[in-house]
Amino acid sequence: PFELGGKRAARIEARSKDLAVVEARDREVQVIYSAELASAYAAAEAMSARMKVAKDDISRANDDLNAAKALVEAGREARLRVSQAQANLSAAEAAAQAAQANYVEAMERLSALAGSTSTYTGLSNSFSERAIAESHSNNNALDISPSIRRAQAEHEALLSQITVEEKRAIPNIDISAGVRKFEGIGGQAFIIGFGSAIPVFDLNKGNIAAASERAVAAEARLNATKLEVGANQRAATAQVNASENRLNAARAGERAATEAYQLAKSGYESGKTPLIELLFIRKALTDAKLTTIDANFNLVKSLATLAAAQGRIAFGEFK
């Protein structure tokens, strides 16, 4: 049959719109995946840093225990202080074991996200520090977010489907040809026939209406996606700003806690600071270091979330 009214062109256009939908969805998945991978890498680095802090805390706890033993032997402290220092050391060792388990879990998740068949055993360069240092060099949103582009492509694909359904009601022309023999006179003739099924009662109105309803729903989803993307971008920007402030405050707190511990340790060794105060200040130092690590991780995670909201590959400029 010969198709009239541009039926074939309408189908080709519809298929091209479907391909655009697939490409838009693929780009959206890439953006989401890159943000998840960046967050997983930053989490693994954070767990590694927490593990190092735990090991350093064990070293400091050992130093405090040795200092307590020396003061007890010199008769300047009660033997109870050694037990307190030993209990503190045991707590630090337990915290180190927990940090080790969390690190292994983070590496397993990172390996799975990266598609590695074997578990990573270590990390190379400091991704988090680079991410924070270069966070302001490329943080502009794309003209059209992949989520909006995907919603637009879906809407356009459904609009093209309306055209396909409208063209479907146009009748086709059927052509037949053959040879007829006339036995009485011993002759033959070449015959050509034309036919067409003209729809009188079925004009495909049901399918046209259904396609139109789907297009209207897609347009509503497009408008909702635009609003959602705008809200996500504003929320992610606010979260990045808050995370930067928390990190600056955490670093200042860590510096103060480090200085306080050094003074307390010197005071304890000279007999001017009680052991219980030294242990309290050392715990405050450990907590301050962990707070800085968490703030650092949260900032990188916020930057990855912002990149996804803006439609960018998170830290895609890194090599």
pLDDT digits (tens, 9 = 90+) for 134-158: 776 655 555 678 888 899 999 999 9
Alpha helices in the chain (DSSP H): 7-73, 80-113, 127-133, 146-168, 205-269, 275-310
CATH H-level superfamily of 7-310 = Outer membrane efflux proteins (OEP) (1.20.1600.10)
Report the candidate in 52, 45, 32, 16 with the shortest Cα–Cα distance to residue 109: 45
Query: Which residues are CB-contacts of 188 (< 8 A; sequence separation ≥ 6)?
Result: 179, 180, 181, 182
Tokens 């256009």, located at residue: 13
Distance CA 309, CA 227 (A): 12
Q: Collapse the DSSP code of 117 into the 3-class scheme (helix H, G, I; strand E, B; otherwise coil) and give the result.
A: coil
Distance CA 145, CA 34 (A): 15
Full-model pTM: 0.77
Distance CA 181, CA 192 (A): 14
pLDDT at 255 exceeding the cut of 90? yes
Query: Which residues are CB-contacts of 219 (< 8 A; sequence separation ≥ 6)?
Result: 155
Report the candidate in 38, 36, 56, 43 with the shortest Cα–Cα distance to residue 104: 43
- What is the Cα 306 distance to its own chain's centre? 10
pLDDT of residue 196: 66
pLDDT of residue 142: 58
Taking residues 170-196, report their average pLDDT: 75
Taking residues 96-107, report their average pLDDT: 93
Share of the chain above pLDDT 70, in %: 91
Q: What are the sequence ranges of the domains in the chain? A: 7-310
pLDDT at 61 exceeding the cut of 80? yes
- What is the Cα 296 distance to its own chain's centre? 17
pLDDT of residue 1: 59
Share of the chain above pLDDT 90, in %: 40
**Which pairing describes strands 187-195 and 174-182: parallel, antiparallel, or unpaired?**
antiparallel
